[in-house]
Amino acid sequence: MSETVDARGLSCPQPVLLALAAMKKLDKGELTVLVDTDTSKENVLRAAASQGWQEAGVEEKAGSYQIRLSKG
Contact assessment for residue 43 and residue 18, using Cβ atoms and an 8 Å cutoff: no
- 62 CB-near residues (< 8 Å, 6+ apart): none
pLDDT tens-place string over residues 8-63: 999 999 999 999 999 999 999 999 999 999 999 999 999 999 999 999 999 999 89
DSSP code at position 22: H
* Nearest C-alpha neighbor of 62 from the set 7, 8, 19: 8
Given pLDDT bands bounded at 50, 70 and 90, which one contains residue 1? confident
User: For the chain, which domains are there?
Assistant: 2-71 (3.30.110.40)
CB neighbour burial string for 20-38, b if at least 16 within 10 angstroms, e if fewer: bebbeebeeeebbbbbbbe
